[in-house]
Amino acid sequence: MKKCYEFPLSILFLILFSSCSVGQKNASKKNDETEKPRRPKLIVGITVDQMRYDYIEKFWGDFGNDGFKLLVNKGFFARNLHYNFMPTYTGPGHAAIFTGTTPSYNGIIANDWYERSSGRMIYCSSDSTVQGIGTSSAAGKMSPQYLTSTTLGDELKLFSNQRSKVFGIAMKDRGATLTAGRTADAAYWFVGGNEGNWATSSWYMNELPAWVIEYNNERLADKVMSQTWELSNPIENYEESLEDNNPYEMPFKGTTRPVFPYNMAELKALNGNFDLIKGTPFGNQLTVDFGKRLIEKEKLGEDEITDMLCMSFSSTDYIGHQFGIHSKEVQDCYIRLDKELAAFIKYLDEKIGRENYLIFLSADHAGAPTPSYMMDQKGPAGYWKSDRLEESVSLFLKEKYGPANWIINESNLNLFLNRTIIREKNLDLKKIQMEVAQFVGEQPGVLMAFNASDLDRISGKSTIADKVQLGYNQRLSGDIIYVLQPGWMEYGMQGTTHGSPYSYDTHVPALFFGFNVEHGETFQPQTICDIAVSVSSICKLPLPSATIGEPIKKLVK
């Protein structure tokens, strides 16, 4: 007789329960492994035009606790970040930050450049095939058509299957178009003159959204024109700057002295009417105000699909050019910008939440000390005349190879040889390039000169030659590129400019704040191309197509 063993129900229940628990744990583990990585709801890329790295340190005592100080004290600061190419201009700078690459690869070699095929100068944002939307003037014929690589915004649009919203805004058209990229929903810029409106072009849309029309109709630009630019603090607190009336600053047209206060209504007629706003801190104020309205009306950051706003503050550049880096005007502009930043961060905190947005802030270039001031202090500096160089090179080639129109263009420290004549005379182009480069390199005020053949071979790490090479584009650049001595520039005796490969033009701040950013800093050498790679890494997004940067290791863990 077979024995029948009864299995206790309690044990059977425990086995079934354990099996279910293991199944639930495995399912939970699977869900954890397949869960989509979290990304910020909004990325805000801020470019401060002509902001030197040392302005944060120099004006630290003037700042409140909720603007630049907050970004430094609660965010991450890359303190030794430089541009790795020349020229350090506005167009190339904006493009480099957002493409993660240099003019050699993104196609923006200057603010404007000579085009051999047409024999004319090309502006980096111009586009004769589009129409202005919101303006009937030539100021509307702009687009990012010359960008030859993708931006952060382009990659975000591709990654989200066009569901992400990407916008660029700035007083300058190039500050808006070259940051947002070719596939952006829109880029808006401020049209001055007699208009005082925010506009775009048919590259992006056929008509202005109702909210932009409504915003323009509020005529905030008119309200700005009724204001007076006065110092924010008592004048004795501006000890970081030179005296208010000094010979190194350029007065507004219609005035004889560059001194506070500046009455907008009195100045506008001789200073471009609404264009005057761009050269005062009120331009930054309007940019922040328009940015808030855009976030509200376009519903940025309101869902789990990451959006992006590229915001460039242009007024800092206009003021820097006119008054120079040691002026009270520049110092006051940054005091006011600090307050605008604080208000904008507070708005983002309330609207989106600090854990849901990522801010990164840098500059498209820095700015040089005014040479006339440096010379008065017995410092190394000087002024350059490119016309004289062009005449000297033409005479040199005439004496060597006979009369001809040897030089067809000189711009951006590039010399373009007349290759048609060189071919007709059956001469060796490379030989002539080398001869001219040697001749140019021997001129007073020139540090070194390179010919196109040289720049096809140079490689290394952060030398002047490497910076020239990374700014060189075989299709667009000249036959000879030269570099001036440190402190030298082609400019007037008042105010300042930029464009060189030296630290006063290349060293810019890089601040990161908000989503997945831990407080910290690094003094390790970084390049401007590292910003886009770092942002992509933080947000787990594809890299821009031609990037040559590396992630900032202490920031991206």
Segment 434-455 mean pLDDT: 94
User: Closest by alpha carbon to 362, among 541, 538, 173, 100?
Assistant: 100
pLDDT at 459 over 80: no
Tokens of 290: 């328009």
> Does residue 369 contact residue 408 with C-beta atoms inside 8 Å?
no
Segment 230-241 mean pLDDT: 97
Q: What is the pLDDT of residue 78?
A: 98
Q: What is the pLDDT of residue 30?
A: 44
> Does residue 88 contact residue 96 with C-beta atoms inside 8 Å?
no
| Residue whose entry in the numeric block shows the structure tokens 């990407």 | 166
pLDDT at 375 over 90: yes
Q: Which residues pair with 383 in a beta bridge?
A: 489
User: Closest by alpha carbon to 109, among 134, 88, 140?
Assistant: 88
> Does residue 449 contact residue 468 with C-beta atoms inside 8 Å?
no
Contacts of residue 428, Cβ cutoff 8 Å, sequence gap at least 6: none
Torsion (CA) 190, 64, 368, 104 in degrees, nearest 10: -60
Q: What is the pLDDT of residues 116-160, one digit of tens each?
A: 999 999 999 999 999 999 999 999 999 999 999 999 999 999 999
How many helices and strands in the chain, by DSSP H and E? 21, 22
> Does residue 221 contact residue 198 with C-beta atoms inside 8 Å?
no
Q: What is the pLDDT of residue 12?
A: 39
Q: What is the pLDDT of residue 461?
A: 60
pLDDT at 414 over 60: yes
Q: Write the CA distances from 547 to 111, 306, 337, integer angstroms.
A: 21, 21, 30
Alpha-carbon distance 253 to 270, whole Å?
A: 6
Q: What is the pLDDT of residues 495-543, one digit of tens each?
A: 999 999 999 999 999 999 999 999 999 999 999 999 999 999 999 999 9
DSSP 213: H
Q: What is the pLDDT of residue 35?
A: 63
Q: What is the pLDDT of residue 16?
A: 40
pLDDT at 475 over 50: yes
Segment 181-200 mean pLDDT: 98
pLDDT at 11 over 50: no
> Does residue 427 contact residue 401 with C-beta atoms inside 8 Å?
yes
Domains of the chain, CATH where assigned: 43-375+509-539 (3.40.720.10), 382-486 (3.30.1360.150)
Tokens of 7: 């299995």
Q: 283 pLDDT band (50/70/90 cuts)?
A: very high
Q: What is the pLDDT of residue 498?
A: 98
Tokens of 497: 């400019």
Segment 293-307 mean pLDDT: 98
User: Closest by alpha carbon to 413, among 436, 444, 391, 386?
Assistant: 386
pLDDT mean across residues, the chain: 94
* pTM given for the model: 0.93
Segment 381-389 mean pLDDT: 97
Q: Write the CA distances from 532 to 358, 466, 524, 527, 536, integer angstroms.
A: 13, 21, 17, 10, 6
pLDDT at 10 over 60: no
Segment 237-244 mean pLDDT: 97
pLDDT at 369 over 70: yes
User: Strand 197-201 and strand 132-133: pairing?
Assistant: antiparallel
Q: What is the pLDDT of residues 19-56, one digit of tens each?
A: 444 445 454 444 454 566 799 999 999 999 999 999 99
Q: What share of the chain is helix, strand, coil (3-state, %, to 5)?
A: 40, 15, 45
User: Strand 42-48 and strand 446-451: pairing?
Assistant: unpaired
> Does residue 535 contact residue 179 with C-beta atoms inside 8 Å?
no
Q: What is the pLDDT of residue 455?
A: 82
Active site residues: 90
- DSSP H or E stretch at residue 73: helix 68-74
Alpha-carbon distance 447 to 435, whole Å?
A: 16
Segment 180-201 mean pLDDT: 98
Burial class (CB in 10 A: 0-12, 13-18, 19+), 295: buried
Alpha-carbon distance 270 to 260, whole Å?
A: 18
Alpha-carbon distance 187 to 167, whole Å?
A: 6
Segment 245-253 mean pLDDT: 97
Q: What is the pLDDT of residue 92?
A: 98
Contacts of residue 517, Cβ cutoff 8 Å, sequence gap at least 6: 75, 76, 358, 538, 555
Sign for the CA dihedral angle at 218, 222, 224, 227 comes to negative
Q: 453 pLDDT band (50/70/90 cuts)?
A: confident
User: Strand 488-489 and strand 480-484: pairing?
Assistant: unpaired
- DSSP H or E stretch at residue 393: helix 386-401
Q: Write the CA distances from 112 to 107, 123, 324, 363, 489, integer angstroms.
A: 11, 4, 23, 19, 18
